[in-house]
Structure 1
Amino acid sequence: MLSGAFLLTTIGSCALVFLAAFESVAVTAVMPAVSRALDGAHLYAAAFAGPLATGVIGMVVSGMWADRRGPVAPLYASVSLFSAGLVVCGLAPSMEVLVAGRLLQGLGGGALTVALYVVVARVYPEELHPKIFAWFAAAWVVPALVGPAAAGAVTDLLSWHWVFLGVVVLVALAMLMVVPSLGRLGPGGPEDAEAAEGDAGHGPRLLMWATLAALAVLALNLVDGVPRVGGVLVVAAVAVTLLAVRPLLPAGTLTARHGLPGVILMRGMGAAAFFGADVYLPYLFTERYGFSPTLAGLTLTLGALAWSGASAVQGRLGERLPHALAVRIGMALVAAGILPALLTALLDLHPAVPVVGWLAGGAGMGLMYPRLSTLTLALSAPADRGFNSSALSISDSIGGALTLALTGIVFSSFAAGSADGFAAVFAFAALIGLVAALLAHRVTPKPEVIA
């Protein structure tokens, strides 16, 4: 992959994945400082839920576009949108403008991932695909380890603005490395054209549902404050989100049907529980304990280290640890990792308590996330692997986005930054983790199906 023919493409593609991942995880550490500077506590959750929601639209659009016209135009468009979002965020004079920039970031980031996967399929020979995807995975792990602390340090030494603006130049350099290989790519071949023609009616329908789901999630961040009918609008927005996401997932996902639907549901619930708490931990540390952005970021790094370590452990255990048991233990660890944060918010405990607890949360994610990916492929027919892999990512994004929108409502219903507000958010996230642990056995087919 580092030979002359692939060197720049490999470095540039991995750099793009790295930078998208960095922005995804690093912003968590600095958002409390951004919220304070822009007086934007009321939109704190929207800054996280928004890009997750628009990312789903980006995934669907980029996939359809790449199937019909090749990956070149979608990649240029996605990088442009992602960069534009960074610039808007970095120059934002208000929290409303920053959230708008985050929506652009999410749209471009979701499209970027899909476009790069198609580039890989077109540029690299099949025998190199496992290696480049392993590099992409590493490009996600490293930002999770160093991103929060690095973003905190940039905020302390310079300004939070540079967490966004500084990445724009790096994105441009990474894209320049990929450009030479893009010049050799044209539209898809006959097989791609035939597949695209076959999906001509299917794709727009998926795009419609993805857009509706994203808009419903975004509406959740706005309707709660509507006098007299805010609560009704919240329930309606949640119902529309679930209705819209249903066609994007395998049948039976929302009812926790055994087998693949249960796997896809667990992915969404895992993201909901973990990230529903994760984005409020640095907020708790900075608001209640006076942590600097750098120190708050380091606490998230410890959770990422536990995630990475547990992922390696489950890989070594292999089949000695059954999939369903790994998912159940993982979900239970996530819930257990949130409880110390809940108790800390209620009882004003030492900040070391939630930091240590979050090691359990990270370990839980590392234990179950790889198993859910493995199960998705194992339970998918070859013709359905694309749809099911997409469903796994969509469940991940919508699960996190929907929960973050709801935690934003829960948090804003209390005094800004109050102990009760933090406690309510952590209790909500922990409850999701506990329910998921009880449903974890549904990731395996019923015995009679196997027979």
Structure 2
Amino acid sequence: MTTTTRPPGTTTLAVGIVALEFAAAVTTFVASTLLPVIARDLDARGDLGLLLAGSTLGLFVALPLAGRVVRRLGGRRTLTVGMVGYVGGLAIAATAGHAWVFALGEFVGGAASGLLAVFGFSAAIQHLDEALRMRVVAVASAMWIVPALVGPAATLGLEHLAGWRWTLLAPVPIVLVGRLLMTRAARPDPQEENGDRPLGLLVPLGVAALVVGAWWPLQVVGVVVAVVGVAAILPRGTATLRPGTPAALGALLLFGVGYFGADSLITLMLTDGYRTSLARAAVVLSAAPLAWALTSLAVPRLMRRPDLRHLPPFGLALTALGVGTLAVVLAFSPSFVAALVAWTVGGVGVGLAYPGLYIRATTAGTSGLTATRLATAAITAETFGSLLGRAVGGAISSLDTPRGLIASYLVFAGVLVGAVAGAARSAGDRWPHDRLGQRQHRLLVDRRRRRTDQ
């Protein structure tokens, strides 16, 4: 029996990443729960897009520039700047007296979070082997269970006691702990280069037109501009699903469009389409993320078997089936039980697919991409896909109900079928089928490691 010896600090880094994912989950539920209260207090009910867009725009500004910042400042100073920006952005938002000031604080915090996310994920790519990264991704998915169950109620309780401004600062201690762990463990590669893509700054410009713009032609132009920026960040071959890492990134983007687009409309689908109560809709709403989190915990063990290398496309196929079933059942015979089962199956599919797909998207294979470029590309693909899915779903579903909802979910199911194709092609240069290919693959990996050590 052989044992795997990992470099010192890898466990600390893994714990820090999981802690930050838990903090991200808490932050998400705190922000979404407090949104009506903040909008009322700042008299910004007509500016909800402004309140929501700040952090997203900041994130997309940071992504194409993160590589340059890390190279110039180094690891520890990057983490320091990111933490100051994160806490400072929250402080600005928490003390805001106007919607624009709140949006500015969210923008600063979003930019800092984007910078820290790229640094953290690139450090994980550099210092954690695939087996440990697979477990980290699976456990990080499970970190959303507790916030999903108790987050809204706890947030409202704390808001009642201390007000929304102090409640907005609640996740800060968890974030600080996670960042301190990463500071002790992460050692950025001094040879890291070409992680920044200035043309990627078109993404926040396009996203601003898409999210804040009220005129639909401006929104269409915004989508086109943002897509050009995303194409500059993602590696060549992503659009054509070239086998290997590009196909995995393309599948990750399509997954974001299909799944998160459907997720953004699930409450409307159930209340307006299936005519269920909001309480019953909440049961279905929580079914998919719980199924995702619990299923993903079993994936690291399953992915060790070579005959299960097709688990990511199989899982995405289940998700496409669940999303499509919601539309078909609504069209013919709406049933609450059928909706619950379909959405749960979709969550199980994501749990089976996501850990393996994310590992493939953040492993260079034969592409030669640096850790910073991989981290930036993966975050961009999933985040922009999610944003685009929500925008497309909102546009289609607003045309008519329930026909618009049926059309939206059929579109999302079709996009997820595309993600299945990308996930299937993503194994092209990473799991060779014959023994000679496996031997050549090992030689290539060993050669890369020797160059890195030198």
Among candidates 382, 389, 409, match of residue 426 of structure 1? 409
> 1:280 aligned to 2:265?
yes
Assess, with a 3 A threshold, how the Cα gap between structure 1 residues 203 and 330 changes in structure 2: closer, same or farther.
Answer: closer
- Name the CA distance, whole Å, in 2 between partners of 1:180 and 1:371: 25
Give the counterpart letter for 2:382 in structure 1: D
- Name the CA distance, whole Å, in 2 between partners of 1:320 and 1:423: 38
Q: Give the Å deviation of 1:268.
A: 0.8
Pairing of 1:23-38 with structure 2 (within 5 A): 23-24=27-28
Q: Is this contact kept in 1: 2:284–2:339, CA < 8 A? A: no
Aligned to 2:388: 402
Aligned to 1:291: 278
Assess, with a 3 A threshold, how the Cα gap between structure 1 residues 444 and 421 changes in structure 2: closer, same or farther.
Answer: same
Give the counterpart letter for 1:430 in structure 2: A
Residues 64-109 of structure 1: CA deviation (Å, up to 9, x unaligned): 2222222333323333443455456667788877666554443232
- Name the CA distance, whole Å, in 2 between partners of 1:260 and 1:77: 31
Give the counterpart letter for 1:259 in structure 2: G
Q: Is this contact kept in 1: 2:29–2:148, CA < 8 A? A: yes
Q: Give the Å deviation of 1:364.
A: 1.5
> 1:332 aligned to 2:317?
yes
Give the counterpart letter for 2:323 in structure 1: I
Q: Is this contact kept in 1: 2:292–2:349, CA < 8 A? A: yes
Q: Give the Å deviation of 1:253.
A: 0.8
Aligned to 2:342: 357
Aligned to 2:211: 221
Aligned to 1:21: 25
Assess, with a 3 A threshold, how the Cα gap between structure 1 residues 118 and 367 changes in structure 2: closer, same or farther.
Answer: closer
Assess, with a 3 A threshold, how the Cα gap between structure 1 residues 23 and 134 changes in structure 2: closer, same or farther.
Answer: farther
Aligned to 2:176: 175
Give the counterpart letter for 2:24 in structure 1: A
> 1:210 aligned to 2:200?
yes
- Name the CA distance, whole Å, in 2 between partners of 1:351 and 1:372: 31
- Name the CA distance, whole Å, in 1 between partners of 2:425 and 2:179: 42
Assess, with a 3 A threshold, how the Cα gap between structure 1 residues 393 and 328 changes in structure 2: closer, same or farther.
Answer: same
Give the counterpart letter for 1:437 in structure 2: V
Q: Is this contact kept in 1: 2:271–2:281, CA < 8 A? A: yes
Pairing of 1:187-202 with structure 2 (within 5 A): 192=190, 195=191, 199=193, 202=194
Bigger drift between 59-68 and 99-108 goes to: 99-108
Assess, with a 3 A threshold, how the Cα gap between structure 1 residues 398 and 300 changes in structure 2: closer, same or farther.
Answer: same
Give the counterpart letter for 1:428 in structure 2: V
> 1:375 aligned to 2:360?
yes
Give the counterpart letter for 1:21 in structure 2: A
Instruction: Quote the RMSD (CA, aligned, Å).
Output: 4.7
Q: Is this contact kept in 2: 1:26–1:148, CA < 8 A? A: no
Assess, with a 3 A threshold, how the Cα gap between structure 1 residues 434 and 357 changes in structure 2: closer, same or farther.
Answer: same
SS of 1:253 mapped into structure 2? coil
Q: Is this contact kept in 1: 2:245–2:362, CA < 8 A? A: no
- Name the CA distance, whole Å, in 2 between partners of 1:149 and 1:431: 31
Assess, with a 3 A threshold, how the Cα gap between structure 1 residues 347 and 31 changes in structure 2: closer, same or farther.
Answer: farther
Aligned to 1:311: 296
- Name the CA distance, whole Å, in 1 between partners of 2:412 and 2:293: 22
SS of 1:150 mapped into structure 2? helix
Pairing of 1:76-87 with structure 2 (within 5 A): 76-86=80-90
Q: Give the Å deviation of 1:367.
A: 1.7
Q: Is this contact kept in 1: 2:138–2:355, CA < 8 A? A: no
Pairing of 1:106-121 with structure 2 (within 5 A): 106-116=110-120
- Name the CA distance, whole Å, in 1 between partners of 2:404 and 2:240: 30
Q: Is this contact kept in 2: 1:82–1:108, CA < 8 A? A: yes
Task: Give the unaligned 5+ runs of structure 2.
Answer: 1-8, 441-454
Task: Give the unaligned 5+ runs of structure 1.
Answer: none
SS of 2:352 mapped into structure 1? helix
> 1:146 aligned to 2:146?
yes
Bigger drift between 210-219 and 422-431 goes to: 422-431
Assess, with a 3 A threshold, how the Cα gap between structure 1 residues 426 and 248 changes in structure 2: closer, same or farther.
Answer: same
Q: How many residues align?
A: 420
Among candidates 233, 243, 260, match of residue 248 of structure 1? 233
Among candidates 401, 415, 425, match of residue 442 of structure 1? 425
Residues 177-232 of structure 1: CA deviation (Å, up to 9, x unaligned): 866996x999x89x72xx36xx4xx455x1x2222112212311244x42xxx33x
Aligned to 2:74: 70
Q: Give the Å deviation of 1:275.
A: 0.8
Q: Is this contact kept in 2: 1:39–1:95, CA < 8 A? A: yes
Q: Give the Å deviation of 1:132.
A: 8.5
Q: Is this contact kept in 2: 1:32–1:283, CA < 8 A? A: no
Among candidates 255, 258, 266, match of residue 270 of structure 1? 255
Residues 147-202 of structure 1: CA deviation (Å, up to 9, x unaligned): 222222135545599788435244146527866996x999x89x72xx36xx4xx4
Bigger drift between 158-167 and 334-343 goes to: 158-167
Give the counterpart letter for 1:217 in structure 2: V
Assess, with a 3 A threshold, how the Cα gap between structure 1 residues 152 and 343 changes in structure 2: closer, same or farther.
Answer: farther
- Name the CA distance, whole Å, in 2 between partners of 1:321 and 1:13: 30
Give the counterpart letter for 2:68 in structure 1: M
Bigger drift between 90-99 and 304-313 goes to: 90-99
Q: Is this contact kept in 1: 2:14–2:124, CA < 8 A? A: no
Assess, with a 3 A threshold, how the Cα gap between structure 1 residues 308 and 155 changes in structure 2: closer, same or farther.
Answer: closer
- Name the CA distance, whole Å, in 1 between partners of 2:271 and 2:38: 12
Assess, with a 3 A threshold, how the Cα gap between structure 1 residues 78 and 391 changes in structure 2: closer, same or farther.
Answer: same
Give the counterpart letter for 1:268 in structure 2: L
The TM-score with structure 1 as length reference comes to 0.72
The TM-score with structure 2 as length reference comes to 0.72
Give the counterpart letter for 1:434 in structure 2: V
Bigger drift between 432-441 and 391-400 goes to: 432-441
Q: Is this contact kept in 2: 1:217–1:402, CA < 8 A? A: no
Aligned to 2:445: none
Aligned to 1:391: 377
Q: Is this contact kept in 2: 1:29–1:282, CA < 8 A? A: no
Q: Is this contact kept in 2: 1:51–1:106, CA < 8 A? A: yes
SS of 1:245 mapped into structure 2? helix
Residues 215-269 of structure 1: CA deviation (Å, up to 9, x unaligned): 212311244x42xxx33x3443222222222221221111222333212100111
Q: Is this contact kept in 1: 2:94–2:168, CA < 8 A? A: no
